[in-house]
């Protein structure tokens, strides 16, 4: 950005980007360059070329291996002078072009890195959704079985009670229509009691009402408007801001 410090990708000079941008690079600047490989504090070797692939200033001798790399020769740029690099208009154009290439590649690597992070995050969230779905399914299946078991128990207990009443009524009915019984038998104390019991049983049976049973679903009003029963996922709309 205009006003920020940058490094020339050809000669590695640190400079400030003009307010007018790359077009403002066409100004003369004299800078002294030394070989970054073999120069020492005691023995300074002037740089004559710049290796774009390695981002290094090199003397002629140190540049030779870069021209014969196994993967292919590196891009070697000649500097204008051995000791003093005069940033002419042509050099400025090369700087601007190379700087744009470097920035474009840097931007591409950044976008690719961010995309990989996004894909990793999506894979993680997908796994979380699947695990959550399986957990909810297990809970739902368990709750369903519990309700069905409860209904089975209610059904068994209620039908047992009803069958007891029906069997009692059948015994009472059989005794009532038994034509072989004598009048003396019916007036005996024991059978009189049985007759009373039969009357009571009849009254109870006539008042019998089977219990009501109904299903009351869980309140899912909060799930209206097509909300998902498992959860939700979100993607931020803020793609980040450049500083």
- Res 52: pLDDT: 87
Radius of gyration over every alpha carbon of the chain, rounded to an integer in angstroms: 48
How many whole angstroms separate alpha carbon 54 and alpha carbon 66?
Answer: 9
Query: Is residue 21 within 8 Å of 2, Cβ to Cβ?
Result: yes
H/E element, 153? helix 89-176
- Res 119: pLDDT: 95
- Res 113: pLDDT: 92
How many whole angstroms separate alpha carbon 121 and alpha carbon 113?
Answer: 12
CA distances from 151 to 142, 144, 214, 233 (A): 14, 11, 10, 37
Query: Is residue 11 within 8 Å of 50, Cβ to Cβ?
Result: yes
How many whole angstroms separate alpha carbon 62 and alpha carbon 68?
Answer: 12
- Res 4: pLDDT: 57
- Res 79: pLDDT: 82
Where in the chain are the domains? Answer: 5-87, 90-172
Return per-residue pLDDT of the chain as tens, 243 residues: 555 565 555 555 555 666 665 555 544 444 568 899 998 888 889 999 998 888 889 999 999 999 888 888 998 988 865 444 444 555 566 666 676 777 888 889 999 999 999 999 999 999 999 999 999 899 989 999 999 999 999 999 999 988 888 887 787 777 766 544 444 444 443 444 466 666 776 777 778 888 899 988 877 666 666 667 777 778 776 655 554
């Amino acid at each position: 950005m205009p006003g920020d410090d940058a490094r020339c990708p050809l000669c590695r000079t640190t400079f400030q980007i003009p307010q007018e941008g790359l077009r403002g690079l066409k100004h003369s600047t004299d800078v002294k360059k030394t070989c970054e490989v073999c120069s020492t504090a005691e023995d300074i070797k002037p740089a004559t070329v710049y290796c774009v692939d390695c981002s290094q200033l090199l003397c002629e001798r140190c540049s030779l291996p870069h021209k014969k790399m196994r993967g292919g020769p590196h891009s070697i740029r000649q500097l204008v002078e051995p000791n003093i690099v005069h940033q002419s208009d042509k050099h400025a154009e090369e700087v601007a072009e190379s700087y744009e290439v470097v920035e474009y590649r840097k931007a591409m690597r950044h976008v690719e890195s961010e995309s990989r992070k996004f894909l990793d995050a999506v894979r993680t969230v997908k796994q979380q959704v699947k695990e959550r779905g399986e957990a909810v399914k297990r809970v739902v299946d368990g709750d369903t079985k519990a309700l069905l078991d409860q209904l089975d128990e209610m059904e068994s207990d209620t039908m047992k009670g009803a069958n007891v009443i029906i069997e009692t009524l059948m015994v009472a009915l059989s005794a009532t229509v038994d034509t072989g019984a004598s009048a003396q038998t019916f007036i005996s104390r024991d059978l009189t009691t049985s007759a009373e019991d039969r009357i009571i049983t009849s009254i109870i049976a006539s008042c019998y009402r089977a219990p009501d049973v109904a299903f009351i679903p869980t309140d899912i009003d909060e799930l209206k408007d097509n909300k998902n029963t498992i959860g939700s996922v979100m993607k931020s709309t803020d793609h980040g801001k450049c500083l």
